[in-house]
Every structure is written in C-alpha cells, then in structure tokens.
C-alpha cells in the first residue's frame, strides 16, 4: 500500500544524506533515526499503533474496573442467581476471561495485518532489511 | 500456624519427597545440558535471546504461576469464595498491559534490564541507580512472598511441624535455587520454568476435569456443594466474603484490584523475560501463549478452589498445617491419594524454586548491569567481571531470600504478592509508559516517578494495617498505622504518574530530541536493536 511513497526522493532525509536514510552522514553507519521519525511511513505506523493500543487499553481498564466496582459496592446485584448456584458476579468474572482472550486475539490479528508489514517497509527504507 | 491436625491428611512424606527429588534431578540435568557455554553477558542475562515465542510464553506464564497464584489463589477461593476469584480475574486481565503497551516496545528498546529502557534517553547514572533500587525492592518483596509460601508447604509436604525444621528445609530449597541461577543463568532458569509450568498446567487441568466429572459436569453442583461445606454458607459465592465489610474494606479492595491489573507487567523478572526472545514479533507471540496458558490455569483454579471446599471443607483447610495455602494439596489428596498429593506438592514446590530463581536472576542482573557496570564503572565494565558481580549478587540475594522466608513463614502469600505488585505498578509502570510514549519526558521526571512511586508505596505499606494494628498484621502487639488501606496502589500509582508529570514540567531541562527519535523509532520498529 506504500508503493507510491517508496521513492527515496520523497523522503526528507534525501536532501541531507545519501540514498534512503541508511546512514547518518559519514562515520558510524548508524541509521538516521530523526529522519526515520519524520518520514510519513513511520508516522503512519505510529498513528496506527497508538490508535489501537490506547483506546483498547482504556476499554479493557474501564471494563475491568466496572467489574471491580460492582464487586466491591453492589453485592446485591453481583449475588443475584442466574442459573443454579451461579450468580451474576461469577458470570461477570468469566466474561472478563472471554473479553481478555478476545482482545489478545484481535491485537494479534491487527499487528499481523497492519503493523508488521509497515515495520517491514520502514526496515527496507532504512536499509537495514530483515535478518 | 500453631494448630495441627492428624498426620494422615498430609499423605506420605516419602512419596512427596521422591517426586520432588525426581523433579530437582531432572531439572538440574536440563540446566546442566542447556548451558554449555554461559560466558557472555547476553547468555547469562537473556539466554542469548535465542528462545522462541512459544517457549518464552510458557516460561512467562511459569514466572507468574507462582506459589502465590497456585496455592494462594486456590486457597483464597476455597476459604473466601468469590473474593478469591477476583484475584485470578485481575491476574489474567493484567497480561493485556504487557501485550498492548509494554512487551514489544521493551524488547526493541532494552537489552537486559528494565533500567536499559528507563535510562535509554536519560542521564545514565541517576536513572540506572533509581531503576536498580526499584527492581531490588520489588523483587525482595516478591521473593518474601514466595519463600513464605515455602514454609507452609513444607509443613504440609513433609509433615515437619517445628519452625526449626522448616527453617532448615527453606535453607535447602534456597540453596538449590541459587545453584540453578549460578549454573544455568537465564537459559537454565527458563528451562526450569517451562518444565514447571507444563507440569502445573497438566496437574490443575487434570484436577479440574476430574472435579467436573465427579459433579456430573455441572459447575453449579460444585458451587452448591462448596457453599454447604463452608462456614460462609451461600455467602461463599457472593462478593464480600473477604473484603467489603465496611467502606474502607471496599476501597481497599479497589486498591488491590488496581495493583493486580497494573502490577504484573511492571515486575522486573517478568519484564526481563522479553529479552530472551530475538525480536518484537516473538515477544508478542510469547504474551499470546502466556495469555492462553493463564486462561486455562485460572479457569481450572476456580474449579480447584471451590472443589477443595466442596470435597475437603473450609474448616479442615484452615486448620491444616499451611492454612489457606493447603487447599490445593488437600484436594489433590482427596482426589488421587498420596501419589497425587506428592505430585501436586512437588510441583508447587518446584514453582517456588523456579520463581525465586527468576527473581534472583532479575535482581542480580539489575545490580550487576545497572549499578556495577553503568553506575560504578560508567559503562566501561569488562563483561566477565560483570557476570562475576552478577553471580555474587545472586548468592547474596539467595541468602537474603532464605532469611526472609524463615521470618515471614506462615503469611498468606497472595496478600504479600499484592504488596509487591503495588510497588511494581507504582515505581515501574508510569516511568515505562512515559518514557515510551511521552516525548517531553526527561531525567527529572523519570527520577520523580520512580522514587515517588516507590517511596510513597513503601511508606504507605509501613504505616498500613498490613504491618501493624490489626489482627492479621505482620508485627503484632504494636500499632503505628495511620494509612487505612492495606494495599497502597490506589494512592501510590496515580501519585507516581503525577510525580513523573510534574517533574518533567517543572524542570526546565528539555528532552534530548536525538535520543528520543532513536528510542521511538527503535521501540516501534526494532531498527538498531540488534547490537
């Protein structure tokens, strides 16, 4: 999806150094991190990542704290029997188990589809490639 | 720990011992085989980053399937019912912090310790010293919890009732553990964790499947039977069996929950595990595997806990040597006789051994790598002398753990662990999150958030009812507590976030943009992390 911006000339580092941002100036051969940080590819990666992990973290923390607050302060609600001896609290707790795994699997899928390819693109641009 | 009951419930000490010795011999062999050359710092601290995500994931869950979760949680569920279950929920959900926020970024940024990440773009010496201080304090608390569990378990396992005898055995266990670390380094310790986690998962799964079968695959029937066998009656299944008698207890419970969910991904020995895999993808895979194994484990523990009450009865558990912590072993005896008790106890014991080995490694790495190599030697230490210092530290920490274990023998381990988690969440998590995601964060902010979290956490624990002034306090007879909550998390975690923010904003010193760029690029992409 990044084929259009792959040309080195469109990168800010192009003006300062050689091809890509493989090395900063001359001696060390270290990648030019500031150029990478400014590149649109990296900004896209960062935006994608942050837009996933922060809302998701906020969601699971709120969901978990809801469970905790109900357990601490609304004993009647959590003690209500749903079926047999199983009450709301236990079901609520088991739901936390389910949502946790759902989030784990969603993130794995997201990272595999949206993050890893972008990281590879940046690796290529930076000239470090994959090992 | 003064009440004793008849010996038959503890099964046969000879079987228990032989299973345990078999485990020790097998793991020692593996440790020996796994570590032919353990000469570079990377080998010793991070097993050469050569483990796969799956292996590390199982070891990661092994690090957390400690005596506290296995014995402590099953015991808490058996005796306090629902409130014990809350612990296990928190401990599963907590892995999301590691997965989403910390794990991969940490792998990309650091090499051996938490200090590597915290000091990456800050002034090296003060930050590394602070990170090492936090690591040592947290690890020490966590270790106390593990060793405290060891005493109770010995009482049950070998029927050794005298404090002196227990102390002797704690010493023996401690020495084996130090040996693992000295000989095996991270590679050996990881293999011990993998074997142990595997055994533990098999054990609890077997027990819970058996329980389900016995009660006609009806979870409800187990709960019914459990509530009939508990002095709490039907209240066993409802919230409030442990916490929630008054407003302060309820607040304390919220505080505890916060510490549980934020603490795990801030524990130094858990964080250090991320360095044993080659890259961020494998780090992610480790957390996914770890989450699955936690999922199975805590579902089983829910059954094991209630099952213990249903089949053994709360009263018998509480009055057994080892108290609450003996629920799972007693249930094993009820289900499979002396043989299963032997296996379960040996696995529980192995758990303590392996977790303490991991803790010792984390603490010694932090001291040798952060304090010795970077603070004392200014980053110019010869790797061989660094490893020598690490091994020496491991020895000292091992001895401290043995002493601590003897002193705290008999405390509820789950509770002690929650204090360590609160400290970890206060000192480490805000600092790690800020340094990874907040561009302006600087050295002053780092120091404020580490020391602010650690200091306030420690002070609040010392003046809490956990230490003095209640019937369950560690120090009895005196009362100098003024902080009403047992767990400091609710205050110290937000305080540490605030300190980090204020420290950064109030100090005029700007963040180093070059270093920040390097860190951000490295943490997100891994460029530059393969040194």
| Higher per-residue pLDDT: A1 or B117 | B117
**If you average pLDDT over every residue of chain B, what do you get?**
82
Ranked by mean pLDDT, the top range of B315-324, B355-364, B382-391, B420-429 is: B420-429
- Residue with the larger pLDDT of the pair B456 and B159: B456
CB contact under 8 A, A31 and B292: no
More confident call, A59 vs B485:
A59
Q: Which of B299, B527, B528 to mutate to test the interface with A (most CBs of A within 10 A)?
A: B527
* Contact flag B524-A42 (C-beta cutoff 8 Å): yes
More confident of the two residues B19 and A119: A119
Q: What is the largest CA-CA distance in chain A?
A: 74
Domain residues of chain B, as ranges?
7-30+41-238+264-419
Instruction: Identify the CATH number of the domain defined by range B7-30+41-238+264-419.
Output: 1.20.1730.10
Rounded to a whole number of angstroms, the distance from the CA of B292 to the nearest CA of chain A is 7
Q: What is the pLDDT of residues B256-272, one digit of tens each?
A: 889 889 988 888 988 88
Q: Is A73 in a helix, a strand, or coil? A: helix
Residue B476: is its pLDDT beyond 80?
no
Q: What is the pLDDT of residue B496?
A: 92
- Could you tell me the maximum CA-CA distance found in chain B, to the nearest angstrom? 69
Which pLDDT value is given to residue B410? 65
Is the per-residue pLDDT at B408 higher than 60? yes
For residue B33, the model assigns a pLDDT of 76
pLDDT value of residue B245 = 67
Q: Which residues of A touch B283 (CB under 8 A)?
A: none
Q: Quote ipTM for the complex.
A: 0.86
Which segment of B2-16, B35-49, B291-305 scores lowest on mean pLDDT?
B2-16
Contact A90 B96 (CB under 8 A): no
pLDDT at B322: 66
Q: Check residue B203 and give its pLDDT.
A: 87
Residue percentage of chain A with pLDDT more than 90: 26
Nearest CA in chain B to A127: B527
Of B101, B295, B521, the CB nearest to A42: B521
pLDDT surpassing 80 at residue B79: yes
B443 has a pLDDT exceeding 50: yes
pLDDT in tens, B427-438: 999 999 999 898
Nearest beta carbon to residue B295 from set A36, A50, A97:
A97
Higher pLDDT among residues B48 and B205, named by residue: B205
Report yes or no: B442 and B507 within 8 Å, Cβ to Cβ: yes
Chain A: nearest CA to B525, how far in angstroms? 5
Q: Which residue has the higher pLDDT, B374 or B301?
A: B301
CA B445 to CA B429: how far, in whole Å?
13
> What is the band of B155 on the pLDDT scale with cuts at 50, 70, 90?
low
Pairing, β A86-87 against β A81-83: antiparallel
Which residue of chain B comes nearest to A92, CA vs CA? B89
Specify the long-range contacts of residues B228-236, CB closer than 8 Å, at least 24 apart: B228/B310, B229/B309, B229/B310, B229/B311, B229/B312, B229/B313, B229/B314, B230/B79, B230/B81, B230/B309, B230/B313, B230/B314, B231/B314, B231/B315, B232/B80, B232/B81, B232/B314, B235/B81, B236/B80, B236/B81, B236/B82, B236/B309
**pLDDT tier at B11, thresholds 50, 70, 90:** low
Between A3 and B441, where is the model more confident?
A: B441
- The strand ranges marked E within chain A are 81-83, 86-87
What does pLDDT average to over chain A? Answer: 76
- Residue A24's pLDDT is 41
Pair B405, B312: CB distance under 8 Å: no
| pLDDT score at B193 | 86
Question: What is residue B110's three-state secondary structure?
Answer: coil
pLDDT at B293: 92
B527 and A97 within 8 Å at the Cβ level: the answer is: no
pLDDT, tens digit, 9 for 90 and up, residues A7-65: 443 344 433 433 444 444 444 567 788 888 888 888 888 888 999 999 999 999 999 99
* pLDDT of res. A54: 92
């Amino acid at each position: 999806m990044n084929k259009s911006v792959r040309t080195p000339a469109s990168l800010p580092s192009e003006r300062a150094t050689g091809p890509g941002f493989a090395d900063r100036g001359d001696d060390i051969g270290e990648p030019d991190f500031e150029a990478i940080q400014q590149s649109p590819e990296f900004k896209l990666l960062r935006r994608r990542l942050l837009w996933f992990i922060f809302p998701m973290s906020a969601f699971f923390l709120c969901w978990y704290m809801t469970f905790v607050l109900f357990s601490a302060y609304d004993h009647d609600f959590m003690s209500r029997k749903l079926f047999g001896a199983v009450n709301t609290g236990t079901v609520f707790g088991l739901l936390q188990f389910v949502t946790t795994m759902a989030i784990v699997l969603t993130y794995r899928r997201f990272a595999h589809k949206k993050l890893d390819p972008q990281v590879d693109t940046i690796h290529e641009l930076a000239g470090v490639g994959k090992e | 720990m003064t009440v004793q009951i008849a010996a038959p419930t503890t099964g046969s000490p000879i079987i228990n011992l032989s299973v345990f010795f078999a485990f020790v011999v097998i793991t020692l062999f593996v440790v020996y085989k796994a570590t032919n050359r353990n000469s570079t710092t990377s080998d010793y601290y991070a097993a050469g980053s050569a483990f796969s995500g799956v292996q590390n994931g199982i070891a990661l869950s092994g690090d957390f399937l400690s005596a506290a979760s296995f014995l402590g949680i099953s015991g808490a569920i058996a005796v306090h019912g629902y409130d014990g279950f809350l612990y296990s929920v928190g401990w599963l959900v907590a892995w999301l912090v590691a997965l989403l926020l910390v794990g991969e970024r940490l792998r990309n940024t650091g090499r051996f310790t938490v200090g590597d990440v915290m000091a990456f773009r800050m002034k090296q010496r003060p930050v590394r010293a602070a990170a090492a201080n936090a690591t040592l304090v947290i690890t020490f608390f966590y270790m106390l919890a593990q060793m405290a569990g060891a005493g109770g378990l010995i009482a049950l396992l070998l029927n050794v009732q005298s404090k002196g005898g227990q102390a002797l055995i704690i010493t023996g266990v401690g020495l084996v553990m130090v040996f693992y670390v000295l000989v095996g380094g991270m590679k050996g310790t990881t293999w011990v964790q993998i074997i142990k986690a595997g055994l533990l998962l098999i054990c609890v799964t077997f027990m819970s499947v058996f329980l389900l079968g016995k009660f006609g695959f009806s979870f409800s029937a187990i709960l019914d039977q459990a509530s009939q066998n508990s002095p709490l009656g039907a209240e066993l299944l409802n919230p409030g069996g442990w916490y929630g008698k008054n407003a302060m207890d309820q607040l304390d419970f919220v505080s505890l929950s916060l510490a549980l969910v934020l603490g795990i991904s801030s524990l130094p020995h858990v964080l250090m595990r991320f360095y044993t895999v080659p890259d961020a993808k494998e780090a992610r895979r480790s957390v996914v595997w770890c989450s699955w194994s936690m999922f199975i484990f805590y579902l089983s523990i829910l059954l094991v806990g209630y099952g213990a009450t249903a089949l053994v009865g709360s009263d018998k558990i509480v009055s057994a040597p080892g108290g609450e912590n003996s629920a799972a072993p007693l249930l094993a005896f009820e289900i499979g006789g002396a043989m299963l008790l032997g296996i379960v106890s040996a696995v529980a014991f192995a758990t303590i051994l392996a977790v303490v080995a991991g803790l010792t490694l984390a603490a010694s790495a932090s001291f040798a790598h952060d304090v010795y190599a970077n603070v004392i030697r200014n980053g110019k230490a010869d790797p061989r002398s660094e490893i020598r210092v690490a091994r020496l530290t491991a020895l000292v920490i091992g001895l401290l753990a043995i002493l601590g274990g003897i002193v705290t023998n008999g405390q509820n381990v789950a509770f002690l662990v929650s204090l360590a988690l609160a400290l970890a969440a206060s000192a480490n998590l805000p600092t790690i999150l800020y340094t990874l995601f907040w561009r302006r964060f600087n050295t002053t902010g780092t120091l404020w958030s580490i020391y602010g979290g650690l200091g306030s956490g420690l002070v609040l624990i010392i003046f809490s009812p956990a230490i003095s002034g209640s019937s369950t306090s560690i120090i009895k007879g005196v009362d100098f507590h003024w902080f009403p909550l047992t767990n400091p998390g609710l205050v110290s975690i937000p305080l540490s976030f605030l300190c980090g923010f204020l420290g950064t904003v109030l100090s005029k010193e700007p963040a180093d943009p070059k270093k920040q760029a390097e860190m951000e690029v490295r943490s997100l992409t891994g460029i530059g992390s393969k040194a």
